[in-house]
Amino acid sequence: MSTKYREIYNIFKEEIENGTLKPNQKISDELTLCKKFNCSRMTIKKALDILVQEGLLFRKRGIGSFVMNSTNTHQRITLSERELTGLTKSAKNSVTSKILDFKLIFANETIANFLNMKPNEPLYSIYRLRYINNDPCVLEQTYMNPALIPGINEDILHSSIYNYIEKDLKLRIGSAKKITRACISNETDHKYLLLEKEEPVLEIEQIAYLDNGIPFEYSFSRHRYDKFEFTTYSLRI
C-alpha cells in the first residue's frame, strides 16, 4: 500500500472506530476527498476499496459510500486477514508483555529459508506472553534477523516491536503471508494461557515483509480461542 492511500485509509479507519464517523453516515464523494487530501481519484478509490473490503464501509450504487452499521457488540478482538498492525494496535486496549525467553541463536535451514538468510547466521529468538487488560491471551514465538532489525532489547520487547521498527528504525512494514489453524492446546498453553486440556488454541504462522519485499519476521502466535476472532471480507465481482 502506497504511503498516501495508507494514510487516508488509516484516517478513515480511526474515525470510524472512535465514533467520529457514525454508522450509516455518508462520507464525502471522491472528488471532494481528492481536494481534501490533495491526491488523485485513484488514490482515494484504493483507500475506500480497502475499507469496503474490511467491512467498515458499504456502497450504494449511484449514491455513495456509507459507514457500516456493525452488529459486532461482543468483547472479542477482531483480527482482519488484511491487516498487519501488530497486537498492540489491533487490541485497542492495554497490551503488556512478559518475556519468557530472549536470546541469539543460529538459524536452522527452515528459518533461514523463510528469512532469506544463510543457515547458521545469528538470529533473534523471542518468546513472549502477551496480556490484554491483564489477561494472558497470546503466546508468541518470533524470529528476526538482527542485521535487518538491529537494537532489539528488553524495553522494546515489553512494548511493541512493530512500533520500534517503523518509528525508530524508520522502516515500513508492508505485507505478510499468514496461515491460521486450529490446534489442540499443549502443556505450555495450559500453563501460560490458562486453558483446560480439552480447549483449543488458534495459531497463526506468519512471514512478515518490509515494503521493499524483504522478509523480516517469521513467527508463530497461539491465541486463546475465546478472546479473538479472525475475519475475511469478500466482494462479489
Level-2 CATH architecture, domain 3-67: Orthogonal Bundle (1.10)
DSSP assignment letter at 14 = H
Instruction: Give me the sign of the Cα torsion angle 221, 224, 225, 228.
Output: negative
Alpha carbon 14 to its chain's center? 15
- Nearest 5°: phi and psi at 81? -70, -15
Residue 236 has, within 13 A of its CA and on its CB side, a CA count of 2
Dump pLDDT digits (tens) for 83-120.
555 565 555 557 899 999 999 999 999 999 999 999 99
* pTM of the complete model: 0.67
pLDDT score, position 73: 38
Identity of the amino acid at 62: G
Cell numbers 527452515: residue: 110
Q: Contact at 8 Å (CB) between 122 and 146?
A: yes
Level-2 CATH architecture, domain 77-231: 3-Layer(aba) Sandwich (3.40)
Residue 235 scores a pLDDT above 70: no
**Residue extent(s) of CATH 3.40.1410.10 domains in the chain:** 77-231
Q: Within the chain, how many helices (H) and strands (E) appear?
A: 8, 10
**Residue extent(s) of CATH 1.10.10.10 domains in the chain:** 3-67
Place 1 in a pLDDT band, splitting at 50, 70 and 90: very low
